[in-house]
Structure formats: structure tokens, C-alpha cells
Amino acid sequence: MQDTIISASGVTKKFGDFTAVNDVSFEVQRGEILAFLGPNGAGKTTTIKMLTTLLKPTSGHVSLDGHDPAHEQSAARRTFGIVFQDPSLDDELTAMENMQLHAVLYSVPSDIRKTRIEELLRFVDLWDRKDSLVKEFSGGMKRRLEIARSLLHHPKVLFLDEPTIGLDPQTRNHLWDYVQKLNREEGITVFLTTHYMEEAEKVAGRIAIIDHGKIMTIGSSEELKKQTTTATLEEAFLALTGNAIREEGASSADTMRQHRAMWGRGGRR
């Protein structure tokens, strides 16, 4: 039985003259785990932003659990949770305060709020540091907190945009086990991006390869390998996207970080 929860048809996003996402169409079924793989600047984050009400497509149509994120924003927002690729914590608050703020914004009932916050902070190994200001955290600790925060409410769809950047292997495995458990037990649909082939292969039912704003192919990792007559997913990925290193090294995330570094040193206090 087909039960589509995310769909995109003919979606294009232009920034000025530059086409970041070019006539992309795909569907994700309820309860599925889909991975978006693609070189830097391929358009993965831009696609996620269009699905999560942060950007409006230039043309084409997206749908999230029957709602159009571009127009029925509130309805769309109630369906998902997200780990952004870029930082999104309030540095001036403690870990606990960040969690509580999120719990209120997503109206997590107060009886499960406390236990779930503790469970998740323990899960990412931050319970001892719950009252420390986030600005005192290391990069990996911030990332773990963002992950814990995104799991606080249990949405229908979970978007994970390179959730494992900067994480040690232990935490990475831990995270994927948890995500798979949520997917299995609560039927949460997961839309993830990553640059680690083995993660995609392990977790995702289907993998979409995207390059230059276009989806090259979509299928299970077996299908991708068969299609390209290669032995590993990495070889399949390289066969589909070529070996050239992308020039757009400074993606939006990197510029963000440069800004942060700049402001962090000079401007603030």
C-alpha cells in the first residue's frame, strides 16, 4: 500500500541567476527512511529548507503530510522535527533551558516533558552538563544537544541534515540506532542527508543521489550498485557524480561559520 507523506514535483529553487535545485521530483512513503546523498552544494539543504517552510520554491510543488509548506505553514510545521546543518542553539542559555524552550514551543505535555528531557540528555551524555551555558560547550557537545532537542517531540517526519558532522563514532552509531528505533516503533518517517556512505547504507531504505540540483537516481543501495555495476555505495556515488571536487566549497554553512568566528572574536562583548 502506498502512503505518500513527502512529495516534491518539479521543484526548482533559484537564488538570483543560480539554480540550486533544478526540477526535482520525488516521493517518500510514510514510515520510510530516505537518505539524500550528494556533493557539497548539490542542493540537499535547499531542498530540506523548502520542505520545512524556511524557503519558498521558485516553481514546482512540495507537500508534507498533505500540506503545502509554502502556504499552509502552520499545518506543515506541526508535522516535522529537524536537525539543521548549521548551528541553531541559543548560546546564552543552558542545555536545560534550550530543551525546555523547545518543549514549550512544541507543546510537549508537561508530564512527559521532564522525563523525556532527562532521558535524552542522558542519551547524548550531557546530563551532567545540563546547567552549563551552551557557549561553553565543544562543537560535538552542541551537536549532541541539537540532536537531543530534535527528538524531544515525536513528529511524523524527522529531517536530519548532516546530523553526524563533528560527532565521534560512538555517538554516531548511538544516534542511528535511536533513529531506527523511533522509525520502527513509532513509524516516524526520516529524511536525512549525510556524507558518510556507510551511514546511508546502514540506515536508509532508499537513497537518492543528487548533484547540481538534480536527482541522478533514487533506489536502495543494492539497486544503485547494480545500476552502476560497482561493488560499494561509494563507488556508485562517484560513478554517478564524477570525481571532480566542487568549487562551491563555501556553502551557506561555511559562510555562516566564518561569520560566527568573525563576530565571536570582535563584535560581541
Partner 1 sequence: MATIYILWLRQLKRYSRSKSRMIGSLGQPLLFLLALGYGFGPIFEKAGQGNYVQFIAPGVIAMSILFTAVFSGIEIIWDRQFGFLKETLVAPVSRTAIMLGRTLGGATVALFQGCIIFVITIIAGFRPETWAAIPMAFVFMALIALLFTALGTAIACVLEDMQGFPIIMNFLVMPLFFLSGALFPLKDLPGPIAIITRLDPLSYGVDGLHGALTGTLQFSYPVDIAVLGIISMVLLAIGSWLFSRIQV
87 binds partner 1 (CB under 8 A): yes
120 binds ligand ATP (CB under 6 A): no
β 33-37/189-193 pair status? parallel
C-alpha 137/C-alpha 90 separation (Å) is 12
User: Of these, 44, 49, 143, 225, which contacts partner 1 (CB under 8 A)?
Assistant: 49
DSSP conformation class of 167: -
In the range 197-256, which residues lie near ligand ATP by CB under 6 A?
Answer: 248, 251-253
C-alpha 79/C-alpha 100 separation (Å) is 20
100 binds partner 1 (CB under 8 A): yes
Nearer to partner 1, 52 or 241 (CB): 52
CB of 83 within 8 A of CB of 171? Answer: no
112 binds partner 1 (CB under 8 A): no
C-alpha 189/C-alpha 227 separation (Å) is 26
44 binds ligand ATP (CB under 6 A): yes
CB of 208 within 8 A of CB of 26? Answer: yes
16: left (phi over 0), alpha (psi -120 to 50) or beta: left
In the range 231-260, which residues lie near partner 1 by CB under 8 A?
Answer: 256, 259-260
Nearer to ligand ATP, 46 or 189 (CB): 46
C-alpha 216/C-alpha 208 separation (Å) is 8
User: Of these, 84, 123, 137, 237, which contacts partner 1 (CB under 8 A)?
Assistant: 84
52 binds ligand ATP (CB under 6 A): no
What are the E-state strand segments in 30-129? Answer: 33-37, 59-64, 80-83
Collapsing DSSP to helix, strand or coil, 233 comes out as helix
Instruction: Please report how close the Cβ of residue 105 comes to partner 1 at its closest, in angstroms.
Output: 4
57 binds ligand ATP (CB under 6 A): no
Strand order in the sheet with 4-15: 18-29, 4-15, 59-64
Instruction: Please report how close the Cβ of residue 193 comes to Mg ion at its closest, in angstroms.
Output: 6
Residues that bind Mg ion in the complex, under the rule CB under 5 A: 44-45, 85
Residues that bind ligand ATP in the complex, under the rule CB under 6 A: 15, 18, 20, 38, 40-46, 85, 248, 251-253
Residues within the interface to partner 1 (CB under 8 A):
49, 52-56, 73-74, 77-78, 80, 82, 84, 86-93, 97, 100-102, 104-107, 133, 256, 259-260, 263, 267, 269
